[in-house]
Structure 1
Amino acid sequence: MSPVVSSSRSSTILRSAGFAVVLLVVLLVTNLLFNPARFQPSAWGTLIGLAAPLVGAALASAPVILGGRGGIDISIGPQMGFVNAVVIQGIFLSAGISSPLVIVPAALLIGAGIGAVNGFMATIIRIQPIVATLGTYLVLTGVTLTILPAPIGPAPEWLKAMSGTYSILPLAVMAIAWWLIRRLPYYDQLMAIGSDDRAAYTAGVDVTKVRFIAYVVTGLFAGIAGLMLTALIGSADPNIGQNYTLIAIAAVALGGVSLAGGRGGLIGAAIGAIDIFLLQSVLTSFNVSTYVLQIAYGAILVAAVVLTAVQERAVRRAL
């Protein structure tokens, strides 16, 4: 990929996330005014650790959405919760294994395996993605509660450090992985099938294979997000993962990723997630109830989808 094309794509992604970028500036200034101590440089590690699971969930949600044709994975949250339960209950406490050389690959394999199952159902059996991943959502929720009926802990010390001093590392790994993917022909194929899968198929793109890989990538990223969630809470909780599913999708939409596929990118998804985190921070400063937070998430999702639709129509008219 040439530097010119790469630069053009990056600028296009940032333009599609224009509303999210403006909102980011507004929310950041508001947070600095009302809660400056929380945003001091000395607290950045902890702050990133707090935001990391949501950002990770948003990044995980994006690849299948970019593939178009209703591609979506609503099992991201339960995948994170399942990884959290297996790592703490199964590997650390039951097996007595604390080494990152075991725990990290296990989380990635779990995520990739779940992503492959979702991809098989959605692309090969051709079950509607929302139905296929809803089934996975319910199965994982039930299995997680079966192996972990109640919260338990603690987590390994090295993992808990990932919510503080080293909180940027998992996000950096995801960023590097996507940066590498963007330099492969696969990325062009993913965006092509997201924009027009029939034209891509006519051009010789293996649409099924490309979408299947997108689900596997989503699963891998969900595995990393599950580790970040485990680092944040420092234990295992069977009920916490589900909370991230719809918020992550709202973040993706807010970040300018078209839910129809083929437009946007993970930079926008990350900005959208940071916006939601900063909104949470502002509302929490005012002691706003969780019910108001849910209303805010819904309003953000609707506004983001409407703005994205308006922008897409404007682009079509310009062409």
Structure 2
Amino acid sequence: MRPLSTLSTILRSAGFALVLLIVLLAINLYLNPARFAPAAWGTLIGLAAPLIGAALASAPVILGGRGGIDISVGPLMGFVNAIVIQTLFLSAGISSPFVLIPAALVVGASIGAINGFMTTVVRIQPIVATLGTYLVLTGVTLTILPAPVGPAPDWLKAMSSSYSVLPLAVIAVAWWLIRRLPYYDQLMAIGSDDRAAYTAGVDVTRVRFVAHVITGVFASIAGLMLTALIGSADPNIGQTYTLIAIAAVALGGISLAGGRGGLVGAAIGAIDIFLLQSVLTSFNVSTYVLQIAYGAILVAAVVLTAIQERAVKGSAL
């Protein structure tokens, strides 16, 4: 796809999120310029990285349509956090990134494959299937890790500061490659109209199954970002990213019905939420108000997306 066409698509689907990004960034620069100075960008990206990663991980299954909302992304991040720190690093004494990173990716791909099997082969509604995975992963994580422990390996903690952009770059490159495969067009086609795609010869089951695997792999990378940020293992922190990530996806212009939007929009939506958190924290706002803000953002984003979709359909008639 040509750069101008890609830019036009981003502006059309994530225009509101981009405007909000500019406004929130300006407010943050005014309230706390030192925090957003270039010297602090590494740490700042490290703080935002788990949320951005969770939003990017949530996007592929949503793009595939049929209500493909995976609410197990947050618990999967927490599960990866527990496996890497408690099981592999502290218990087994394994600290090499050449073991821990592949192990995390295998865990993510496996959980994604299980979700994909339940939703595409067994044909359980995605939100129900992933709710089951959510509960199982939460219980297993608490069994492995009843209380927070640490620390994390030094190389992993460095990914929250000096090398904070590296995991996000890995996801970006992976998605860039996926977009150049026939699979991407098939994913967007089944998200828009799976019956028409099936009639055209697209293997709908395979495409949605792979989308769940991609979501699992991206969630495992987000779990490593989370581990880098907190520098330890915490059994309760992963779940907090689930609904915020979905709100970020909706805010970024990805249609929750599937087939429209992209990971750039999801990343912009996540950055918006991070900047909103920063603004509200500057005013010492309570966590309850933050929850209200997340809910309001989600509702506003869904409504704006619905209005935009109707306008597009109306202009096409």
| TM value normalised by structure 1 | 0.98
Instruction: Confirm whether residue 152 of structure 1 aligns to residue 145 of structure 2.
Output: no
Instruction: Confirm whether residue 67 of structure 1 aligns to residue 64 of structure 2.
Output: yes
Instruction: Confirm whether residue 255 of structure 1 aligns to residue 252 of structure 2.
Output: yes
Which of 111, 119, 122 is 1:122 aligned to?
119
| Contact 1:53/1:228 (<8 A) preserved | yes
Hey, what's the Cα distance between the residues in 1 that align with 2:214 and 2:279? 33
Question: 1:86-165 counterparts in 2 under 5 A?
Answer: 86-165=83-162
1:12 Cα shift? 1.2
Hey, what's the Cα distance between the residues in 2 that align with 1:294 and 1:11? 32
Hey, what's the Cα distance between the residues in 1 that align with 2:100 and 2:183? 29
Instruction: Confirm whether residue 286 of structure 1 aligns to residue 286 of structure 2.
Output: no
**What's the secondary structure of 2:90's corresponding residue?**
helix
Which of 221, 228, 233 is 1:231 aligned to?
228
Deviation string 1:40-69 (CA, Å, 9 cap, x unpaired) is 111000000000000000000000000001
| TM value normalised by structure 2 | 0.99
Which of 5, 12, 27 is 1:15 aligned to?
12
1:8 Cα shift? 2.1
1:159 Cα shift? 0.1
- Counterpart residue type for residue 311 of structure 2: A
**What's the secondary structure of 1:23's corresponding residue?**
helix
Hey, what's the Cα distance between the residues in 1 that align with 2:195 and 2:16? 31
Deviation string 1:159-205 (CA, Å, 9 cap, x unpaired) is 00000010000000000000000000000000000000011001000
Q: Which runs of 4+ in 1 moved over 4 A?
A: none
Deviation string 1:110-155 (CA, Å, 9 cap, x unpaired) is 0000000000000110000000000000000000000100000000
1:14 Cα shift? 2.8
Question: 1:304-315 counterparts in 2 under 5 A?
Answer: 304-315=301-312
Tell me the equivalent position of 2:169: 172
Residue correspondences, number: 316
**What's the secondary structure of 1:62's corresponding residue?**
helix
Tell me the equivalent position of 1:244: 241
Unaligned runs of 5+ in 2: none
**What's the secondary structure of 1:47's corresponding residue?**
helix
Hey, what's the Cα distance between the residues in 2 that align with 1:20 and 1:129? 27
Hey, what's the Cα distance between the residues in 2 that align with 1:13 and 1:195? 17
Hey, what's the Cα distance between the residues in 1 that align with 2:159 and 2:80? 16
Instruction: Confirm whether residue 48 of structure 1 aligns to residue 45 of structure 2.
Output: yes
Which of 215, 218, 223 is 2:215 aligned to?
218
- Counterpart residue type for residue 188 of structure 1: D
Unaligned runs of 5+ in 1: none
